[in-house]
């Protein structure tokens, strides 16, 4: 029986999540592994600022104690959540990356902005998901909801960051 188990383990494909080294990241995610910490806000007023290209490990609050500006798409009453502000000088396609499962919304004024694309980060990067939004210039509210973990790494990035203009 032990030999059969060993043969089955040897024949099993290597799981996609098994990584021997972090993957090198392309722009706009090259700073993803930098350190920074922040406590996510529980209401829009006083929520900390998220800065494009600067990742943080955010401490979240049980979602029942967060005053979401707009009901989150999923998981508002479950898990943990928090709020950040994001200010843009000009319109941009912005990706919000998370290292764990959670719901992310961007609110402009009183309206949730529909995402234009979403997917996973590169294998072995530590980025679990990226949600892209086309945002106008101005101040926005980033809502995180439904995280089972009390901490989540989060980063906002401009799709055109550091690209050469020809």
Q: What are the tens digits of pLDDT across the range 2-30?
A: 343 333 334 334 444 577 776 677 778 77
pLDDT at 49 over 70: yes
pLDDT (tens digit, 9 = 90+) per residue, 76-111? 678 999 999 999 999 999 999 999 999 999 999 999
Q: Which of 56, 69, 70 is nearest to 156 (CA)?
A: 56
Q: Does residue 46 lie in a domain region?
A: yes
Q: Which domain holds residue 50?
A: 27-158
**CATH code where residue 57 lies:** 2.60.120.380
Q: CB of 108 within 8 A of CB of 136? A: yes
Cα–Cα distance for residue pair 37/31, rounded to 1 Å: 14
Q: Does residue 11 lie in a domain region?
A: no
Q: Does residue 21 lie in a domain region?
A: no
Calculate ∠ Cα 116-117-118, nearest 5°: 140
Q: Does residue 5 lie in a domain region?
A: no
Tell me how many domains the chain contains.
1
Cα–Cα distance for residue pair 65/21, rounded to 1 Å: 38
Q: Which of 119, 42, 133 is nearest to 86 (CA)?
A: 133
């Amino acid at each position: 029986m032990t030999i059969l188990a060993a043969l089955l383990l040897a024949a099993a494909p290597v799981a996609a999540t098994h990584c021997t080294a972090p993957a090198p990241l392309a722009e706009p995610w090259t700073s993803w592994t930098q350190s920074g910490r922040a406590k996510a806000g529980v209401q829009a007023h006083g929520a900390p600022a998220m800065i494009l290209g600067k990742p943080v490990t955010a401490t979240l609050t049980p979602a029942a104690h967060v005053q979401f500006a707009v009901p989150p798409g999923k998981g508002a009453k479950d898990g943990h959540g928090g709020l950040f502000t994001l200010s843009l000088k000009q319109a941009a396609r912005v990706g919000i990356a998370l290292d764990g499962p959670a719901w992310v919304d961007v609110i402009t004024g009183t309206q949730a902005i529909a995402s234009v694309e979403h997917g996973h980060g590169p294998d072995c990067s530590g980025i679990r998901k990226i949600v892209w939004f086309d945002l106008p210039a101005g101040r926005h509210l980033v809502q995180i909801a439904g995280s089972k973990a009390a901490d989540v790494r989060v980063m906002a990035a401009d799709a055109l960051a550091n690209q050469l203009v020809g």
